[in-house]
Chains A and B, each alone.
Chain A
Amino acid sequence: MSNTVFTTDELEMPCPECKGKGEIVSHGKSTSCTKCEGKGVIMTGLGQTLLHFVKKHL
């Protein structure tokens, strides 16, 4: 793992339910996406590893 560069899509991906918007619009009403809890993205294992590492050492 020398000179490893992460791109954002290796850390998270757009939520397929809300297409990354974090909200679902139906009948002109917008509600927070329950699948991603309104974040619009789902973290990967690498993303979670990095987040846990940063939280631990912050």
Chain B
Amino acid sequence: MGQASDGNDFFVIKAEENGVNVIGLTRGSDTRFHHSEKLDMGEVMIAQFTEHTSAVKVRGKATIQTKHGEVKSD
């Protein structure tokens, strides 16, 4: 597991339906999808950006909380 880029900066993803996909994108010049996680309704994932992951893509209906606020995906 890599070090978080910013101390305890984490975010929360709560699935609002079954089959929500959380996809991690690699840090660096080529952004590959290196990791996926399937969440079913009500499941919560708490994640951090690390040396390996610089972006996250959420597919499906979910509530995402970051230090910048809350956003909902469809």
Enumerate chain A interface residues (CB-CB to B < 8 A): 9-10, 12-13, 15-17, 34-37, 42-45, 48
Contacts and interface: CB of A to CB of B under 8 A. Distances in A.
Nearest to B21: A13
B33 interface: yes
Contacts of B37: 44-45
A43 B35 contact: yes
Contacts of A34: 30, 32
Size band of the interface chain B makes with A? 10 to 19
B23 interface: yes
Contacts of A45: 35, 37
A37 B59 CA distance: 20
B34 interface: yes
Given A42-B34, A43-B36, A45-B35, 7 more contacts: A13-B36, A16-B21, A16-B23, A16-B57, A42-B23, A44-B35, A44-B36
